[in-house]
Every structure is written in C-alpha cells, then in structure tokens.
Structure 1
Amino acid sequence: MSEPHEVPTVDRPGWRRQTTLFLTGQTISLFGSMLVQYAVMWHLTLETKSGGIMALYAVFGFLPQAVISIFGGVWADRLDRKKLIIGADATIAVVTLALAMFMAAGATDLWLIFVAIAIRSAGAGIQMPAVAALLPQIVPTDKLMRVNGIHGTIQSAMMLVAPAAAAAVYANMSIVAVFYIDVVTAVIGIGLLLAVTVPRLVRSSDGRLGYFDDLVGGLRYVASHAFVRWVLVLYAVVFVLIVAPSFLTPLMIVRTFGEEVWKLTANELAFSIGMVLGGAAVAAWAGTWNRVRMILVSTVVFGGLSIGLGLSTNIWVFFGFMFLLGLSVPAFSTPSYTVLQETVEPEMQGRVFGFVGIVMALSMPFGMAVFGPLADRFSVESLLIWAGVALLLVVALASAVPGGRRAMKAADEHATV
C-alpha cells in the first residue's frame, strides 16, 4: 500500500477559519435541502397516504445517488473537490428553480417531483464523497472527531429548525415557496465555499492512470480492507432494517394518531433534538473513545428503539422513542466517518466515501421497496417491530460467527482506544 501524500496534519495556519467557512456554507445549503425534503415528504404523505408512493419517493431520492456515487468517488479523488461541490450545488439549485416555476404555472403532476428529486439525488452522489474527503484536507487529523461531532451537531440543529420552518412555509404559503428558499440557500452556500482555501492534494499514484484504473483501484482497496468492508456491511444493515422502516413513521402517525401537520412536525423535532444533544455529547466527550465499540453499541440500541417505536400506543411515548433514536445516531455516524477519515489514505478517501454513499443509497430504496408495499398490507407498527428484531439477530449473528469476529478484530485494530 502506498504511503499517503497529504498536507501536514498539524500547524495548518488558518484551519479554524477555513473550517468555519466550509461548515457554515454546507449548513446553510443543507438547511434549504432539508426544507425541500420535509415539504415533499409531507406533501406526498398528505396527498396520497400511500406506502407505495413513499416507496417511489425513496427510490427516486436514493437510487440515482447510488449510481452517480460510482463515478462521484473517483471524481473526488481525481478532480478539485471544492469545484465538484460547487457544481453539484449549482445544478441542484437550477433544477429546484425549474420545478418551482413549473408548479407555480400549475403543473402538479407527481412525475415532475420525482424527476427533480432524482436529479437532486444524483447531485448528492457527487457532493457527498467530495465533502467527506475534503474535510480532512483542511482539518488536522487529531481534530477530526471533534470537528465531525460539531458538524453533526450543527446539522442536527438545522434539522431542529427545518421541520418547523418547512411546516410554516408549507402551511401558510405553498410547496413552491419552499423550493424558492432552497435556491437562495444554495447560492449563499456556494458563495461561502468560494471563500474557502483548500490545500492541494498530491497523489502518490501515477497521474497517467485513467478513470477506469482508478475505479478498479478503489474496488480492490475496498475488497482488501477488512475495516472498510465491515463499515459498509454495517451501513447496509442499518439502512435496510432501521432507516428505511423509520422513513414510514410519518405514515404511521397519519394513520394511527391523526393527520395534523403539527404531529408530523413534532415527530421530526423529537428526532432532531435528540440528534443535537447526541452530537454535542460526541463532540464534547467522545474524542478518545473506542470508535468500534461506539458503532456496535449504537447499532444494538437502534434495534431496541425500533421495537419500542412499533409498540408505542401513545403519541408522546412514540415521540420519546424518536428522541432517543436521534440521540443515538451521532454515536453511529460520527465515529464511523471519523475512523474512515483517520485510516484511509487521503488520495483514496473520495472512492471509499463514494462506496459508502453507494451502500447507503442502494440500501434505502431496497429497504423501502420491501417495506413500502408491505406498509399497504400491514401496519407500520408491526414492520418497525420486526425490523428491530431482525437487526438485533443480525448483530448477534455477526458477532458470533468466526468471520464476523475476525472482521471486528480487524476493525478494532484501527480504533482509537
């Protein structure tokens, strides 16, 4: 394995200012994207009340990201990551503006929303690996866990504000107004990112290698790296068995507890408040904790909370479990991202995070393709219970079989004790 060629990991002048600009721009852009996400999800839920439509929304929202991530990860290692992020943001903004104009003119067909969501998803397939790989270029390695924790906390805070803002705009104006706001936030985010200075990344491999060679190199790296494989499997399992069924919680609320928009908003707020507090805790105290143990414990907690959500017969108890679920998310996402950034060579990080994005993006529509139609035949409550039980069984099996123990041992060797 080649030695990484990276800018120094200590004494990077101005790294705090550059990091602040970068995170601020990404947060503002993300806020607009969240407004669109919540507004579209609620719009489809309230207009159709169909698990099949929600499954289609998940497919159009995540499958293009999976396809484009195959290319996005390589682009993030071959091209200027900053320019890739700006290009993706700009494309998403233009598409969102076009959708807003069509809908303002009276075109309300669902296929228009699905096309726009698909293009936004493709932009995310370019943006996600570039963002994840760019951050270690401007942040010293020993500060990554804390910065990732802060980043997660800020994102969670935006998730706290975005549902209320989306509900206010959607209820008092229209979904078109939400789209216009997203365009404005994208422009602001791009402007801030233009002010960020990103150190040049020097590749140690032969610069004459073609795109296909880089793609094959990334595949071989993932195939031969036990820790990366372990993370990818965990992401797949969690997204199929927890994230996908949880995506149906608004449908459960509408069917079981009522159609009031405030209930949908409260559901998102409970989750987001938990994520804010969980992210703050990770940023403050988890800098030296064992990354792998955090990931494993949080996965088990996910399974238990999914069962609790399914057993809830009182809406406030349901919101309580959503809060705990949000509280647990940073203990899974932050250490998994951080340990990849710490252990994967900088010139390979775009491709590795591209594959992480592929797994996440494919797992979600696959899970929804299963759970969405089932939600039209069975209660969402029963699906949440069985998904939680299945996750606990998978984790137990993975911990018991020799192959699973070897993978966790290999992963643990990369963890910071």
Structure 2
Amino acid sequence: MQLPWKKTFAIIFSGQIFSILTSAMVQFAVIWHLTETTGSATVLMIAGLAAFLPQALLGPFIGVWLDRWNRKMTMIAADSAIALSSLLLGAYFLLGEPSLPIVYAILTIRSAATAFHAPAFQAAIPLIAPEEQLMRVAGWNQMVFSFSSVIGPALGIAVYSATSLGMVLFLDVAGALLANLMLMLVTIRQPKPGAGRSPSFREEFRLGWIAFRSVKPVVILTIATAVFGIVFMPLATLFPLMTLSHFGRGGYSASVVEAVFGIGMIVGGAMLSVTASKLKDTTYMAASLVTIGFTCIASGTVSNEAFLWFVLLSFFMGAAAPLYNGPYMAMIQRQFEPEMLGRVISLVTSITLLSSPIGLALAGPVVDKYGVQAWFLGSGIVIVLTGAFIYMRFIRMNRNEDAADSR
C-alpha cells in the first residue's frame, strides 16, 4: 500500500538527517584536520577541488542514467559507496597519517557517489509530493540539511578532539547505512518512459539539453548561480581558515561559526516552509543573494577583535541561503516532466558545480597572497551585483505575469 506523501518524506528524512549529519561531521573534521596540520589555503583548495570536480564532470552524463535507473536503488547504491569510502579512509587514519594524495583520492570517490545521490533524490521528490507542495518540501529539505550543519561541526570537532578523525569517518558509515535502511521502507514510483526516452545515450543526452535550453528563466538563473558559485563556494573551506588566521581562534570557535551558520539555515528553511509560494521564486532568490553579499562584504572588513560580529554575520548569511536554493530547485521541478527531470537536474547541478573548481582555483593563490578577508570582500561585491541583476531581469517579467493573471 502506498504511504501518504507526508509519511513517506518523514521516513526518508529520518534516515537522511543522520546521513547528512555524519557527512557534515566528516566534512568539517577533514577540513579542520588539513587546516591544523598544513595551514595552507592551497591544500584546502585542492581538497575542495577533489570534493567538487567529480560531481561537475560526471553531472551531464549521470542524468541519462538517472532517468533510466530506479531512483531509490540509485540513492541506496550511492550511499553505500560513500560508506565504503569513509570506511577506507577511517582505516587509513587508524593505522597512521595517510598522505595527502590518499585523502584527495577518497574525497574524489565520495564526490563521485554524491554526483549520483543528490540529483536522484531531487528527481524523486516530484514523484512523491504534489506539485503545489514542492516549495514546502524544499523548505523541509533545507531544514534537514541545516540542522545537520548546526550539529555536525560541533560533533565532528568533539569526536575528532576526543578520539580521532578515523572515528568520525566510521560514524559516517553508520549514518549512510541508516539512510539506506529508511529508503528500503518506502516506495518511490518510477516515471513512465515517454517521448524523452531513446535507446541512444547520445540522443537522450541531447533531448535533456534541448529541454533545459527551452526554459529561458532556468537558463538565466543557472548562469547566475554559476557566477554565485565561483565566488561563494570557496568560502565553505575558508571559514575555518578565517577563524584560525584572522581571529586567532581554535577548532571549537570554528565549529561555533559553522553551527551558527547552520542555525541561520534552519531559520531560513522554516521561513521558506511557512511563506512558500507567497512571493515569486526570483524575489526570494534576489533577496537571498543581496543579503549574503552584504554579509560577506561586512565579514571582509571586520577587525580581528570582532569575532562575535563575524558569528552574527554568519547567522544572517546562513538564514539567507535557503531562500535561494529552495525556490531554484522547486522552479526546476515544476518546469520539467518527471521522465526528463534527472537529466535536467544533473545538468544544472554540473554547470553550477563546475563553478566551484574555478572559484577554488582562484581563491587559493588570492588568499595565500592577500589574506582570507580579501576573498570575503570581493565575493560579497560580486554576489550583491548578481542579486541585483536577477531582480532587475525578472521584475518586468513578474509584472507582466501579474497583469496577465488579473485579466
């Protein structure tokens, strides 16, 4: 018997929250370990490249497979691969300090598995939830991710400090297995093959590209998201370095910043769930970017004695993030048919993720030469301008749509 859609999401999210939580623990613990042992922004950027580049390169091709394969089994297989990679890296750390190439290789494997899991989950959402509830589900998804972002860094640094990085990685194995168990308890229907299905891989890829290009607002917003990613994604690996190098504080202070950022994301996700569909998608997105941009600018100019101000800015930065991510994904889920959605989501994910390696490659030398605050300041200016562009580009379109609806 098919469960009501809310119960289905409750079961899925109850497993995903542990998987995302332990992954957040691993992400923070690995970054802090590299920060503490090397103190090099270049090492952090290479680690970031290993974590993002496989997703970006595989993304355009994975979509075709996602639209062919069972999406639930794809998520289970991907989580199993992530669990195996954590198990291997954990064993290395228990036996001794692994070399940096080994750490980079394991991060690459985890990234490749995530390249399958993330778009498969997003493509499965419209197969479970009614169309009018997609924005609300996006808010729930952001809240689950944000809760894990709050607790993950604190738990990660606590377990890392009390035991070892290997133990943090073993907990990630348990989290992935629990997520798989919850997925096995639910049914996710498969989209019926339609006009977008072809026996030719190349033809299916081409049809996905044509479908993406046919929706101009999504194309424009994807380009804007890529620009945003170039300047903002490096900050995910630079927050600990900002805490260590600019403010002269240790791992627990760095975990506080991450936790406060995550609390802000929880608040933003809750706001999105409550106010879902009350504003245009692009209004949420423009407001989000402008807010994030100004908090980055302020972070880039704050003195090294104003750590509490940096913590407060991190809260508002985190609160603004779901107001961009949620509407963007909900817009894509509404615009495309389920049998085409895997290709489109993996394609836009790949485009946006390709911006991350570009940003990471640029950020490493800039931060090593000019300091971490320079990147915060420069990225803030670019993000504010991107938000203003989205608002000005779509305000006329929104007004025309409102005028048409009132006729």
The alignment covers a number of residue pairs equal to 401
- Contact 2:288-2:387 at 8 Å conserved across structures: no
2:376 aligns to what? 384
- Contact 1:226-1:411 at 8 Å conserved across structures: no
2:397 aligns to what? 409
List per-residue Cα deviations over 1:75-105 (Å, max 9, x = no partner).
Answer: 1111111111111111111121111112212
Q: 2:329 aligns with which of 337, 340, 348?
A: 337
Counterpart of 1:340, as a letter, is I
- Cα deviation for residue 275 of structure 1 reads 0.5
Structure 1 pair 399/147, CA: closer, same or farther in 2 (3 Å)? Answer: closer
- Contact 2:196-2:339 at 8 Å conserved across structures: no
Q: Does 1:351 align with 2:343?
A: yes
Q: Distance in 2 between matches of 1:411 and 1:259?
A: 49
Structure 2 SS opposite 1:203 = coil
Q: Does 1:45 align with 2:13?
A: no
Q: 1:370 aligns with which of 348, 356, 362?
A: 362
- Cα deviation for residue 214 of structure 1 reads 0.9
- Contact 2:138-2:330 at 8 Å conserved across structures: yes
Q: 2:310 aligns with which of 279, 293, 318?
A: 318
Q: For structure 1, list consecutive stretches of 5 or more residues without a partner in the other structure.
A: 1-11
1:159 aligns to what? 149
Structure 1 pair 24/303, CA: closer, same or farther in 2 (3 Å)? Answer: same
Q: Which moved more, 1:129-138 or 1:207-216?
A: 207-216
Q: Does 1:202 align with 2:192?
A: yes
Q: 1:238 aligns with which of 228, 235, 252?
A: 228
Q: Distance in 2 between matches of 1:67 and 1:36?
A: 23
Q: Distance in 1 between matches of 2:207 and 2:49?
A: 29
Structure 1 SS opposite 2:234 = helix
- Cα deviation for residue 286 of structure 1 reads 2.7
Q: For structure 2, list consecutive stretches of 5 or more residues without a partner in the other structure.
A: none
Q: Distance in 2 between matches of 1:232 and 1:381?
A: 27
Structure 1 pair 228/410, CA: closer, same or farther in 2 (3 Å)? Answer: farther
Q: So what's the TM-score if we normalise by structure 1?
A: 0.91
Q: Distance in 2 between matches of 1:254 and 1:267?
A: 12
Q: Distance in 2 between matches of 1:227 and 1:339?
A: 9
Q: Does 1:307 align with 2:297?
A: yes
- Contact 2:280-2:398 at 8 Å conserved across structures: no
Structure 1 SS opposite 2:89 = helix
Structure 1 pair 131/223, CA: closer, same or farther in 2 (3 Å)? Answer: same
- Cα deviation for residue 396 of structure 1 reads 4.3
1:257 aligns to what? 247
Q: Distance in 2 between matches of 1:70 and 1:412?
A: 33
Structure 1 pair 158/395, CA: closer, same or farther in 2 (3 Å)? Answer: closer
- Cα deviation for residue 289 of structure 1 reads 2.0
Counterpart of 1:17, as a letter, is K
Q: So what's the TM-score if we normalise by structure 2?
A: 0.93
- Contact 1:242-1:303 at 8 Å conserved across structures: no
Q: Distance in 2 between matches of 1:386 and 1:247?
A: 16
Structure 1 pair 20/246, CA: closer, same or farther in 2 (3 Å)? Answer: closer
- Contact 2:29-2:160 at 8 Å conserved across structures: yes
Q: Distance in 2 between matches of 1:37 and 1:93?
A: 14
- Cα deviation for residue 315 of structure 1 reads 0.3
- Cα deviation for residue 326 of structure 1 reads 0.3
- Cα deviation for residue 206 of structure 1 reads 6.2
Counterpart of 1:393, as a letter, is L
Q: 1:283 aligns with which of 259, 262, 273?
A: 273
Structure 1 SS opposite 2:233 = helix
Paired residues for 1:121-136 under 5 Å: 121-136=111-126
- Cα deviation for residue 56 of structure 1 reads 0.2
Counterpart of 1:312, as a letter, is V
- Contact 1:21-1:192 at 8 Å conserved across structures: yes
Structure 1 pair 176/393, CA: closer, same or farther in 2 (3 Å)? Answer: same
Counterpart of 1:89, as a letter, is D
Q: 1:105 aligns with which of 89, 95, 105?
A: 95
Q: Distance in 2 between matches of 1:164 and 1:207?
A: 46
Paired residues for 1:52-71 under 5 Å: 52-71=42-61
- Cα deviation for residue 163 of structure 1 reads 1.1
CA RMSD, 1 decimal: 2.2
- Contact 1:244-1:368 at 8 Å conserved across structures: yes
Identity, % of aligned pairs? Answer: 29
Counterpart of 1:302, as a letter, is I
- Once superposed, which parts of structure 1, at least 4 consecutive aligned residues long, lie more than 4 Å away? 394-400, 410-414
- Contact 1:245-1:368 at 8 Å conserved across structures: no
